[in-house]
Amino acid sequence: MASDSAGFALSSRARRTQRQPISYLMAQAVENPDVISLAAGLVDADTLPAREAFALLEPMLCTRPSARAALQYGTTQGLLSLREKVLAHMAALDGLAPGDLAGTPDDVVIATGSQQLLFILADVLIDPGDVVITGWPSYFVFTGTLEAAGAHVRCVDIDEDGLVPESLERVLGTLKAEGLLPRVRMLYTVSYHQNPTGITLAEDRRGTIVDIIRRYSTDHRILIVEDAAYRELTFEGRPPRSMVRHDPEGRHVALLQTFSKTFAPGLKVGYGLLPHGLVEPVLLQKGNHDFGSANLCQHLVLAAMESGAYARHVEALCRHYTAKRDATLEALREHLGCLAGVRWTHPSGGLYVFLTLPEGLATHTGGPLFARALEEGVLYVPGEYCYPPDPTRTIPENTIRLCYGVCSIEQIRAGVAALARAVRAVM
């Protein structure tokens, strides 16, 4: 909660809103500039498409009609030609033509990053006391958003193939038995190379999960929010098709993607394909938020897609991050491979590896491991931040999220080695 409102009477939402735990880590990074941060979930600054952006802006700003379009107000929903383009893009990633999707460009909303869409979806569906189901663990920024909305969070097990359908069925069955089914509003899942685990929801589970949600939507429709932020950062194999493929009438799944991971976070352009009935409620809220995200940035990502610069950039990014993922896994094997009780995930894409240490080895910021790791010169995210406050579960204290996004390969090697020294020292 805000610690000092200095005499203002804050709303119940403001009083419910906690400081994001990550802010402590960001402060640590600033105060310890020489420390290698395997904590920051950022993209690699070396990959930012500066030349590409400039080459695209030149014809845009030096031609009168396109300059006017980019610098004038846009619409709340976002640039129509960009909505058409990203819809075709989502369809292509699913191996479809745009017309094969249930949604049309009218069902696409452009936002200030996909986070704004996450916020608004929570805001239009959740009253205090409503229930949201997430993975165990889940993306912690959105957990904070859900708590601020007053949601009660219940969690579903994740194994190496992602959300476990039997666990989802169990959670929904329990909620039904508790009389809480009418309060269940949303299943939230980061379905590709999840933040924090790097795990992808397997193709053969996707239809099952949509079916379960459909089956429990007796009182009203439960929304599946498929956060596909890392979908395009797939390093090997063909990523599964989206859950939209299992929702052919476009009734249950909101598919969210973003240009922040695949092009440039500084443009803050995200987008979502929404079930038709949610478009108007979302736009009414977005109208009150900002009546449209920055138009220049929308025109820039559209130009990047149209010119082919976007596709080339994603390809280069995947090569770049593959080498980093490999370096991370190799360093973990080298430095922690022979330690009993230590294991980690093997992501096929994205930016994260999730590490489990022997039981009893606490990773929180107040504990000896965190302090020792800082001394050794490395910063990590305690995995406990990633477990939502599900009252039916106990948060494991021995996990760590590592992000290989920002660091160079040399830093990754040195950082993992430093972490291993810290683990051995406190074990």
Judged by CB under 8 A, the chain residues 14 through 53 that form the site for a second copy are: 14, 17-20, 42-43, 45, 48-51, 53
373 close to 336: Cβ distance less than 8 angstroms: no
Q: For residue 291, give Cα distances in angstroms to 71, 75, 285.
A: 15, 7, 9
- The nearer residue to a second copy, 294 or 362, going by C-beta atoms, is 294
Instruction: Name the packing angle between helices 50-61 and 309-336 (round to 10°).
Output: 160
Region 131-150 residues binding a second copy, contact defined as CB under 8 A = 141, 144-145, 148
| Selected binder of a second copy within 73, 99, 319, 394 (CB under 8 A) | 73
Which H or E element spans position 19?
none
Q: Exposed (0-12), middle (13-18) or buried (19+): which is 266, by Cβ within 10 Å?
A: exposed
- Is the Cβ of residue 25 or residue 332 nearer to a second copy in the bound state? 25
Of 112 and 197, the one with the shorter C-beta distance to a second copy is: 112
Q: Pick out residues in 149-188 that bind a second copy (CB under 8 A).
A: 182, 185
The CA dihedral of 410, 412, 414, 416, to the nearest 10 degrees, is: -160
Q: Does 58 bind a second copy (CB under 8 A)?
A: yes
Residue numbers 273-292 binding a second copy by CB under 8 A: 275-278, 280-281, 284-285, 287-292
R_g (Cα) of the chain, nearest Å = 22
Cβ(111)–Cβ(290) under 8 Å? Answer: no
Query: For a second copy, which is the closer residue by CB, 191 or 293?
Result: 293
Q: Which one, 242 or 293, has the nearer CB to a second copy?
A: 293
For residues 3 and 394, which CB has a smaller minimum distance to a second copy in the complex? Answer: 3
Q: Interface with a second copy by CB under 8 A: which range of 101-109, 215-223, 320-328, 332-340? A: 215-223
Q: Which stretch binds a second copy (CB under 8 A): 5-13, 163-171, 226-234, 395-403?
A: 5-13
Is residue 389 within the footprint of a second copy (CB under 8 A)? no
**Binding to a second copy, residues 218-247 (CB under 8 A):** 219-221, 223
Whether the CB-CB separation of 162 and 136 falls below 8 Å is answered with no
Kindly state the smallest distance separating residue 420's Cβ from a second copy, in Å.
Answer: 29
Dihedral sign of CA atoms 247, 253, 254, 260 in order? negative
Beta strands in 86-163 (DSSP E): 108-112, 131-136, 152-159, 162-163
